[in-house]
Amino acid sequence: MNRSLAEIGGGLLAISQFTLLGDTRKGRRPGFDQTANPATARRLFEQFVEMLRKTTDLTIETGIFGAHMKVELLNDGPVTFVLDSRA
């Protein structure tokens, strides 16, 4: 945990996931009222990826925006972080 992706020769996989903003505080189904419209979401995602590519030497890969994808993940570490920009 004390070394960066660059230090370990790692890369970054950025995949858009609109369901991250699903509100599950009430009812049986998550609410997606607060998600951005698809055009705005795509623009923000592409800006994020472009910023990573311009400001790092990391290998950056992406999924396909808006596509149905199966992603397999192996968490290799002592912790998993949940990032909440409203905290």
Q: Could you please report the per-residue DSSP string of 6-68?
A: HHHT-EEEE---GGGG-B-SSSSS-B-TTSPPHHHHHHHHHHHHHHHHHH--SEEEE--TT--
**Of the candidate ranges 14-18, 35-39, 65-69, the one whose mean pLDDT is the lowest:** 14-18
- Residue range 13-17: average pLDDT? 82
Please tell me the predicted confidence (pLDDT) of residue 59.
94
- Looking at the predicted structure, is the pLDDT value of residue 86 above 70? no
Q: What is the pLDDT of residues 23-65, one digit of tens each?
A: 777 878 877 777 788 898 899 999 999 999 999 999 999 988 8
Given a contact cutoff of 8 angstroms between Cβ atoms, the answer to whether 60 and 14 are in contact is yes
Please tell me the predicted confidence (pLDDT) of residue 51.
95
Given a contact cutoff of 8 angstroms between Cβ atoms, the answer to whether 59 and 12 are in contact is yes
